[in-house]
Structure 1
Amino acid sequence: MIRTLPEDASLLFNLQTLILSFCHRLVKLPSKMENMSNLQHLDIRGSKLIQEMPFGIKELKGLQILSDFIVGKDGAGCALKDLKNIFLQEELCISKLENVGGVDQDTREAILSNKKGLKVLELEWSYEFDNSRNEVEEKNVLEMLQPHTNLRNLTLKWYGGKRFPSWLGDASFSNMTVLRLERCENCTTLPSLGLLSSLKDLAIIGMKRLKTLASEFYGAGCLRPFQSLEILRFEYLQEWDCWETTEKKEHVETFSRLRELSIKNCPELLGKLPDHLPLLEELAISGCAQLVVSLSSLPVLCKFEVMGCKRIVWSSPSDSQSLNSMSLSNISELGNWSVQGFQRVESLKIDGCEELLHLWQNEISREKAPKELRAFNSLKNLCIEDCPNLVLFPEICFLPLLTELTIKNCYALMSLPEGIKQKNVHLESLEINGNHSLSFVTRGQLPSSLKQLWLAKCEKLQCVFTDADEIHTSSNSVIHKEKINGVNTFLERWTVISCPSLTCLSTRDQLPATLLRYLYINNCSKITTLSIGQLPDSLQDLSIYHCPKVESITGRFHNGMLLETISIYNCANFESIPEGIHKLSRLCEISIYTCPSLVCFPEEGLPSTNLRSFTIYNCKNLKALPRGMQTLNSLRLRGCPSIKSFPEECFHTKLTTLELENLNMYEQLIRWGLPKLTSLTSLQIHECQDAESFEIGMMMPASLTHLTISRFPKLKYLSSDGFQNLTSLVYLSIKNCPNLISFPKIGLPSSLMELHIYNCPMLRKQCRRDNGQEWSKIAHISCVVIDDDL
């Protein structure tokens, strides 16, 4: 939020590094920066409101890194030619170069060519191309800014000339390793970049008028253009339609070391890519609707990603022996992809292929498995996404190493393969997201290797495990029951989200035996009950969110259960917590939010061993708190108006966090006092309608570091005696106290570092920096936030 630096900052004579990056409201630097004679590194990246550099910058002879030299408009601030005398050994960025104006013969002098130590240079014009931009002048400016040939990294952004200067692409820049040409929208050709013998990373981005990569791109007469290039990126070239390659020229070896090739959003590109890329490891192409992608002479290709292209022409299997990751998305014509030899592919993603009906034809046995399935025998990760017509899925037993399977938005898929239950599969993670036809996941059991199960947005899913005599599917076929045989699985995490037809997890009283630790059910509007008998003893975290018809968790907790966390959020009909909760010796956290039907807890109370956190929000009919809260570290209670009191056992030396709401609680705190809470660090008190003063401070322990006072509509002042005792307080928040007009007369504790004031209009007026009567009491606080809109 800082707008300016104090002028005294220029007196920091010994300062070497000043970092002001992404100070979005900073409008200027100190005017006398020449006094900061030892400054070596100035970083103002992302501080876009600074319009020029102070004149004193030119005196900083030892400056080595300058993240942004901003050229002032109409001659304001330090001039571009002043850079000539600054050391600048490492990095330099010059921005707003459109403000340089005309470059006549007298001022056309070399500014950067003497800086032998400059390694990284970025030259940037503003992105607005208007009538005031002069193409010829911008070319002259770029000529004037020719760097020393020792430069290693160069970036040009928003350059407006039609051609690049002669020095760019000159073979004398033999040390340049990184070149980025971005949004040079008027340029129609590229210089001879193939002559840069050390260039390793080249990016051409947003050159709207570039149509062809022709022979000048490689360099006339060069036998080994781009001899060191390892990474090549083309992005957002809207008119580029032809890439002339050099394969037909004898004795010309191009891109001999290229490892990564990326082409994105070049909608007019036709033809084909270079044929011979012997060291290419990664190929990514997207948004090239006219391009036919051909895989040939890519012997070490490891990663292949194609999205939004016309067609893929597959090479012989011998050219894909190294391929281990493949992603195919929105391809108009997939061709014969599934019969290629991809024996080493470990990760496969197929996305947005609307015409795809089946991946591979299902077979009865491994001996009859089609050759396309045998070709993928190393597959470990398979993701099928946005294929709405997919109806058949391969038997997983034919993919023996598959560990992760994700199926998203395949609406027509009616069932998973029976082979998912085979003992010889290695499936560890299964995600089904966005399916309109699946009514259950499996009959009987999941694969024993499965560790994570994720089900989301499955509209017709009625249950996960079925053991009914018959289940009618959406195609009216009948599936006969298969008994659960009790085989253990390693399932640890199970998530069910937005399955509106789900009525139960299993049609039996018991789930298949698992090692389940985490169960999360969210937004399943038809599920009414959850049985403890169905939950494995290994369960540690039980979370039920936004299930309006869930009335209860049936059954009784018992000693052998390992539950550590119970969370129930926004379940309008939830009425009761199961009995036996006091026997959960490992239970450490209970959170219940917005359950208006909850009336009471079991009479046995809570476990008295490890329970540390207890939170109840917006349970308006809850009559009383349970017993057994003497071990708590955190107690939070809000939106429970029917609770008139809480047990005195809550006040013990272990409590560190306390949040309470309503006048009754406030009066109990005053009556009992808080000095015994010697570990209390955070206190929040809300909704005290009749309190005109806040005097609770005199009874609070000195250990308190965070205090929040909220919704005291009649509160007028804070007690001086109370706040004087809070010598450790570092954070104070005051919210929705419209009549509060002043702080304690003695001021706030000197330890306070943050003050937040929300919707306290009278106090806000008194805290104005210039003439507020309370300003002197808070001027020492390093962070003050006042906002009436929250």
Structure 2
Amino acid sequence: MNLLDKLKPPINLRELTIRGYGGETFPSWLGDLSWLSNLRVFTIEKCPQLIGEVPNYFSSLERFVIKNFPKLVVSLSNYPIGCKLEINNCEGMVCNDGSIDFENLDSKYLANISTVEDKLKKGSQRVSHLRIAHNEEIMKSWQSLENTNFLSNINFLEINECQNLRSIGRGMLPSSLEEFHINSCQSLTFIDSDVLPLSLKRLTILGCRELKFLKDLSVYSLIESIHVIWCQSLKCLTLDGPLPERLNQLDVFGCDALETLSSSRNEYLPKALTSINISLCPELKSIAESFDNSTCLQYIIVDGCKNLESLPSGLHHLPCLESIEIRECPKLSVREGVPTSLRQLLINECEDDKGMGMGMRMLTSPKKLQIASLQQLKSISDLTNLTALERLDIISLPLLESISDLNNLNSLKELRISSLPQLKSISDLTNLTSLEGLYIKSLPQLELIPDLSGLTSLTELYIEECQKLKSIPSLGGLTSLEELLIHDLPQLESFPSFSGLTSLERLKIYDLPQLESIPSLGGLPSLQELTIADLPQLESIQDLSNLTSLEYLQISQCPRIKSIPSLSGLISLESLQIFALPQLESIPSLSGLTSLETLNITNLPQLESIQDLSNLTSLTDFIISNCPRIKLIPSLSSHTSHEQLRIMDCPNLRSIPDLGNFKDLSVEKCPKLKSLQTLPSSLQSVWITNCPLLIKRWKNVRGKYSSKIAQIPKVVIDGKFIYNSKESQVDYWSFLQRRI
């Protein structure tokens, strides 16, 4: 019997949704909906077996939604005027004459919308946004129309994956079109002249690999943006004419064969151009002769143009230019000055001899400057005038030996110095009172960091991968510092005092092979995250009890640590991670950690016991793994709803007295575990692997499992799903996903 037939809705119903129905026909009560006079919204979703026509006599309906129906057809005859339709990706509204005005229409779903495809081919369907995929017939039918004003209200057309479409000829596009996208039409070789409508404002061509040229684009006077992407055979953007004069945005990306933007004399770029981005065009040799006409140009990006040797002349005359990004153009030599209006300059992998060659002395107002991957650059100077600079990145300069004039950058907020194998020192920074972020990384020759005490605004300090650095300067004046990261300094033997770092919230110290001690952490009242890891010489950690704001604590990979100080004062601690401490014999009491939510105890070969956990009332996730001496896990709080308990590789574990109220339990490779004394009613899933004594206790001689686990919805034992006391094979990954 059809269950849905028995669920006749009440007559005053205003909104009805049918979702996930498995039947092939609609319920009988949908045959006459005159009694549902108050129905305003009707939604049908994910009923893939339904076949036939959707009922369409809804006198009061305001909105009808139908999604994921491959076999249903929607007739457009009897919906009330003003009703909004959403048919998969097609959105429309019923008009006064009973027809549908579509806001969005996708040809993929035309088979589900009766009469629309025929109206499209005749050009009479009213639609604003039309997407055609795998259907060349619709476009070809437009060529035979006598009425050139077909689809009169369309403004957006997208053509996708029409693999037999070789060209776009006259009459194939509506004359009112404002935006045209053509994507992945692999046989398309050219777009003829005077094919595009004169109303066109935006043109996007994507993934048409055989497209070789576009005819003269200059006649399309309204075009504002052109995007050409992954057209590998395209040699020339516009044949027999320049780019449109009103063009303000030009993006050309991944056109391997492109040699020039225009086959005619390419003297100037369009006057209205504000943004040009040419990337991954390795055969491009010329953009234009001059920038003199481009008085509106604001943004220039040139990236991955390996044969480009020069930019158009007149770069320094561009009055509105704000940003230049040049990356991976090894033959490009930029010798001309830049305008004073520039706010951002990024230079990466371009030809240069010994200096910048960018007219650095003329720069006064850029806010961001990046100098990167210039293989011959040996020095950086002439930064004195950059009084407005807020971010400076100096990265991957293999021959750079010195940086000067940094101390005059009074507005600098972020300084990144990275991957400079020859740099031995960093110039004075004491006057950078606005600096908020200092990031020093991968400087193998650096032996000394200058005085930092004057950086009163500094909030983040990272020092990483400096192989010769033996000391860190005093941190005492860094009263605003919120995050300190010290990583991979193989020669560092000692740390400066943390005294005075009252704003410090995050402290990460790891991979310091020579460090023997860490200064007192007691004077860090704001500290929220503390990571101490991979310190092979560290033998002890000082008192942590005053860190009342600490929320995250990780202590790991410190082979000489034998004990951890008291944690009783960490009243805000939410996550505790203790792992890979081979000498640690005990963990201090955790009873005061009432905010603790996550506890991870892993790879502690000497640990024999864990103290009482019953007061951890906020604990949701508990992991204990690879602790071979542990014999007993203490009782967990029974007054709290926990999420996940995972016990792995504890070969001497014999008993778990009380599981608390965990929802998910996983026990793996505990061969001596005989029993779980209580199985709480909260358990939703259990995963047991390689625990032979426990399994033996649960399984009788006839191969059936104890009714003790029958109440648990999901049970997997040694890769087999247990249902109704019997085994069946289970897919590991699907079960794991269900648990997650």
Which residue does 1:761 correspond to in 2? Answer: 718
CA distance in 1, matches of 2:211, 2:118: 30
The reply on whether 1:93 has 2:79 as its aligned counterpart is no
Q: What letter corresponds to residue 56 of structure 1 in structure 2?
A: L
1:311 to 309, 312, 317: 309
- Residue 349 of structure 1 aligns to a residue whose secondary structure is strand
Which residue does 2:637 correspond to in 1? Answer: 674
Cα separation, partners in 2 of 1:627 and 1:674, compared to 1, 3 Å:
closer
Which residue does 2:576 correspond to in 1? Answer: 614
1:407 to 394, 405, 410: 394
Which residue does 1:134 correspond to in 2? Answer: none
1:347 to 344, 349, 355: 344
2:468 to 493, 496, 501: 501
The reply on whether 1:583 has 2:546 as its aligned counterpart is yes
Which residue does 2:93 correspond to in 1? Answer: none
5 Å matches for 1:129-528? 140=137, 142-144=139-141, 148-158=151-161, 159-164=163-168, 166-169=170-173, 172-174=174-176, 176-192=177-193, 195-215=196-216, 225-244=219-238, 255-266=244-255, 267-270=257-260, 272=262, 275=268, 277-288=270-281, 289-294=283-288, 295-309=291-305, 310-316=308-314, 319-331=317-329, 334-335=332-333, 337-340=335-338, 342-360=339-357, 372-417=359-404, 419-422=405-408, 425-442=410-427, 445=430, 447-465=432-450, 484=451, 486-506=453-473, 513=478, 515-528=480-493
Give yes or no for contact 1:756–1:786 (8 Å, CA) kept in 2. Answer: no
Cα separation, partners in 2 of 1:322 and 1:618, compared to 1, 3 Å:
same
CA distance in 2, matches of 1:734, 1:60: 54
CA distance in 1, matches of 2:727, 2:194: 65
CA distance in 1, matches of 2:572, 2:372: 44
Unaligned runs of 5+ in 2: 1-18, 31-38, 80-84, 91-97, 112-116, 144-149
Which residue does 1:468 correspond to in 2? Answer: none
Q: What letter corresponds to residue 57 of structure 1 in structure 2?
A: V
- Residue 544 of structure 1 aligns to a residue whose secondary structure is strand
- How far residue 787 of structure 1 moved from its aligned partner, in angstroms, is 7.9
Cα separation, partners in 2 of 1:614 and 1:237, compared to 1, 3 Å:
closer
CA distance in 1, matches of 2:285, 2:676: 72
Give yes or no for contact 1:412–1:435 (8 Å, CA) kept in 2. Answer: yes
CA distance in 2, matches of 1:705, 1:679: 8
Deviation string 1:271-307 (CA, Å, 9 cap, x unpaired) is 6558352322211112333331232312211111112
Cα separation, partners in 2 of 1:343 and 1:19, compared to 1, 3 Å:
farther
Which residue does 2:114 correspond to in 1? Answer: none
CA distance in 1, matches of 2:590, 2:86: 65
Cα separation, partners in 2 of 1:148 and 1:622, compared to 1, 3 Å:
same
Q: What letter corresponds to residue 785 of structure 1 in structure 2?
A: F
- How far residue 11 of structure 1 moved from its aligned partner, in angstroms, is 4.6
CA distance in 1, matches of 2:208, 2:310: 26
Q: Which moved more, 1:543-552 or 1:650-659?
A: 650-659
- How far residue 383 of structure 1 moved from its aligned partner, in angstroms, is 0.8
Which residue does 1:597 correspond to in 2? Answer: 560
Report the RMSD for the aligned CA atoms in angstroms.
Answer: 4.4
Give yes or no for contact 1:354–1:386 (8 Å, CA) kept in 2. Answer: no
- How far residue 564 of structure 1 moved from its aligned partner, in angstroms, is 2.9
Q: Which moved more, 1:732-741 or 1:632-641?
A: 732-741
The structure in which a higher percent of residues are helix is 1
Give yes or no for contact 1:66–1:91 (8 Å, CA) kept in 2. Answer: no
Cα separation, partners in 2 of 1:558 and 1:19, compared to 1, 3 Å:
same
The reply on whether 1:121 has 2:86 as its aligned counterpart is no
Give yes or no for contact 1:614–1:632 (8 Å, CA) kept in 2. Answer: no
CA distance in 2, matches of 1:281, 1:733: 61
- How far residue 457 of structure 1 moved from its aligned partner, in angstroms, is 2.3
- How far residue 405 of structure 1 moved from its aligned partner, in angstroms, is 0.7
Give yes or no for contact 1:139–1:161 (8 Å, CA) kept in 2. Answer: yes
How many residues matched?
658
- Residue 156 of structure 1 aligns to a residue whose secondary structure is strand
- How far residue 35 of structure 1 moved from its aligned partner, in angstroms, is 5.2
2:679 to 722, 742, 751: 722
1:8 to 3, 19, 23: 23
- How far residue 318 of structure 1 moved from its aligned partner, in angstroms, is 7.7
- How far residue 315 of structure 1 moved from its aligned partner, in angstroms, is 4.1
Unaligned runs of 5+ in 1: 21-27, 45-52, 69-84, 100-107, 126-137, 219-224, 249-253, 362-371, 466-483
CA distance in 1, matches of 2:121, 2:133: 15
Cα separation, partners in 2 of 1:584 and 1:392, compared to 1, 3 Å:
same
CA distance in 1, matches of 2:298, 2:715: 53
Cα separation, partners in 2 of 1:270 and 1:35, compared to 1, 3 Å:
closer
1:645 to 609, 618, 630: 609
Q: What letter corresponds to residue 73 of structure 2 in structure 1?
A: I
CA distance in 1, matches of 2:269, 2:386: 32
Q: What letter corresponds to residue 150 of structure 1 in structure 2?
A: N
1:630 to 592, 598, 604: 592
The reply on whether 1:30 has 2:49 as its aligned counterpart is yes
Deviation string 1:225-270 (CA, Å, 9 cap, x unpaired) is 434322211223333333457779xxxxx73442211122333322
CA distance in 2, matches of 1:280, 1:557: 57
- How far residue 343 of structure 1 moved from its aligned partner, in angstroms, is 1.4
